[in-house]
Chains A and B, each alone.
Chain A
Amino acid sequence: MSDVPTNAPEHCPGTQSEQAGKASPCQGCPNQSFCASGASKLPDPAIAQIAEKMKTVKHKILVLSGKGGVGKSTFSAHLAHALAADTTKEVALLDVDICGPSIPRIMGIEGEQVHQSGSGWSPVYVEDNLAVMSIGFLLSSPDDAVIWRGPKKNGMIKQFLRDVDWGDLDYLIIDTPPGTSDEHLSVVQYLTAASITGAVIITTPQEVSLQDVRKEIRFCQKVKLPIIGVVENMSGFVCPKCTNMSQIFPPTTGGAEQMCKMLNLPLLGKVPLDPRIGRSCDEGMSFLEVVPDSPAAKVYQVIVQSIQDYCSNLETEEQSTI
């Protein structure tokens, strides 16, 4: 993945290329001598700083989807709540959706502010053992738009990973925006030396979602990011009146089940549509607490258990190789 600076000319070979600073399009570029000296190919010092910071974080889990609106933030928030239900565990949720930060609302902490101290930025605590960081806390009004191009977004993500005082964590969950672009590349690159436990991929049943999700899976494979498994959201709707099931988002090509079979990935669970989920998110409550006996909540608990098992198996493997 080559880096093209914003002030680079057309046909810039990329700062990481062997031709950096030496190719003909480099003539006249303000970065030419920097690139030609080889300095552009030195790793960003932030990577080592972040790796140091992440030493106190046991498991880093990315929540991804190629597709928007499939329930990444909903899932991330409820995964965080479920993991933090064990009060012996320290959990944190980092929202790197710079343009559309939903996590503060879903966690019921919209309007909170972030404080700076000698040890860095303090995240906002939902519970004693559940911390959250989002650009949402840095915006002064709900109308504020973050109209930033890639490089500025990357800078913020670097700060989130390097400068937030997380303390010791058992789990750091990272909620991402849809796509395979700056935010995703930056998170993966900045955590290169820190090792990501794995990614949970969220989809809905339709092919319109799956076709984007397959791209995300390819992205994970390209950057060698392990995939913990796939969650199919909005998987059928049971009418509260007549209890008949409707497939509002039809799995015309077999849904996540078929995709996971083809790609040899674990399907962690299928969560049905439930109006109470959306309502809980709007009100900043955990629907796992509001309606713990709902079919959706039960599926969530199974999914969370699979993720916990994955993480503890990894811990056991790592310890046995020491």
Chain B
Amino acid sequence: MAQKDGGNLAQVRRVVLVLSGKGGVGKSTITTELALALRHAGKKVGILDVDLCGPSIPRMLSVGRPEVHQCDSGWVPVYTDADQSLALMSIGFLLEDPDDAVVWRGPKKNAMIGQFVSDVAWGELDVLLVDTPPGTSDEHLSVLENLRKHRVDGAILVTTPQAVSTGDVRREITFCKKTGVRIIGIVENMSGFVCPHCSECSNIFSKGGGEELAKLTGSTFLGSVPLDPALTTCIEEGKDFIQAFPESATFRAINSICRSLLSSLEVS
């Protein structure tokens, strides 16, 4: 593994992990939406997708399966636009067949993550968001070990309202405390569904768990994002939800979380 002390992350101003003990709560969705909101706010953003078994971000940003090129400093990230305001690196780009499973044990995953952290030529970024798989295992330990040589500014924890979810996220909070990662705050996703036909709100995945968890653990509650079929459709189709639905309650929720994140990171 090539060591590039300070090299490729030297011009990355802030690094934020997006974590959850629980799978399927919307880590990748929230990572994508925060990245788009940050870009909308004029920031240069990168996303590092270290979910080796289930890399979702390429589809969410509609980048397909581009070839990844090398330059003198390492791998060139894939840019989602001509302005190069949003850069992405994911193992999804390195697979020949998108249906191929990455059936690796821990040590091999650790090696790949090490390369991802050190060998991507990010250039200048305001914020690098690191999307992770669920759990508290190899990927998380490796990402931290490798990022520590550069910087880790904190973590956002994503949960859904139910106890089955917050139960796992409590363990992720312990992980952060044990590994010395600052918890920027908790985001509650899938927080209620407003029926588009009659506007009745249904709490499909229960209610209030995210805020309770924040209180219980002394963390900041960053906000809740509702279940919104318009958002899930944009994510499916790789469309920019921020551009498509700027007037929506969902966008206001995401934007508010984005502003809290920027203020917590003190990125001017």
Interface membership of B133, Cβ < 8 A: yes
Task: Check if A148 sits within 8 Å of B137, measured CB to CB.
Answer: yes
Task: Check if B237 sits within 8 Å of A252, measured CB to CB.
Answer: yes
Which listed residue, B101, B162, B195, B227, touches A216 by the CB 8 Å rule? B101
Most buried by B among A66, A147, A218, A247: A147
* CB-CB under 8 A for A99 and B202, given A143-B174, A239-B197, A246-B229: no
Interface membership of A278, Cβ < 8 A: yes
A143 to B219, CA, bound (A): 14
Chain B stretch 64-121: residues in CB contact (< 8 A) with chain A: 98-111
> Could you give, for residues 100-126 of chain A, a 1 whenever the CB lies within 8 Å of some chain B CB and a 0 otherwise?
101001100000000000000000000
Give the nearest-CB partner of A218 in chain B.
B101
**A280 nearest CB across to chain B (Å):** 10
Task: Check if A275 sits within 8 Å of B204, measured CB to CB.
Answer: yes
Interface membership of A75, Cβ < 8 A: no
> Could you give, for residues 232-249 of chain B, a 1 whenever the CB lies within 8 Å of some chain A CB and a 0 otherwise?
110111000000000000
Give the nearest-CB partner of A277 in chain B.
B204
> Could you give, for residues 17-30 of chain B, a 1 whenever the CB lies within 8 Å of some chain A CB and a 0 otherwise?
00001111100100
Task: Check if B164 sits within 8 Å of A275, measured CB to CB.
Answer: no
B residues less than 8 Å from A145 (CB atoms): 21, 136, 171-172, 174-175, 178
A12 to B229, CA, bound (A): 47
Chain A stretch 208-248: residues in CB contact (< 8 A) with chain B: 208, 211-212, 214-216, 218-219, 222, 237, 239-242, 244, 246-248
* CB-CB under 8 A for A149 and B141, given A244-B198, A250-B229: yes
Interface membership of A151, Cβ < 8 A: yes
* Main DSSP-derived SS at the A contact region: loop
- Number of A-B residue pairs, CB cutoff 8 Å, is 216
Task: Check if A242 sits within 8 Å of B197, measured CB to CB.
Answer: yes
Which listed residue, A102, A219, A249, touches B101 by the CB 8 Å rule? A219
Task: Check if B232 sits within 8 Å of A250, measured CB to CB.
Answer: yes
* CB-CB under 8 A for A215 and B54, given A10-B1, A145-B172, A179-B133: yes
Task: Check if A279 sits within 8 Å of B102, measured CB to CB.
Answer: no
Task: Check if A150 sits within 8 Å of B53, measured CB to CB.
Answer: no
Chain A stretch 179-233: residues in CB contact (< 8 A) with chain B: 179-182, 184-185, 204, 206-208, 211-212, 214-216, 218-219, 222
Please give the residue numbers on chain B whose beta carbons come within 8 Å of chain A beta carbons, in ascending order: 1, 21-25, 28, 53-54, 56, 59-60, 98-111, 133-138, 140-141, 160, 162-164, 167-168, 170-175, 178-179, 193, 195-198, 200, 202-206, 227, 229, 232-233, 235-237
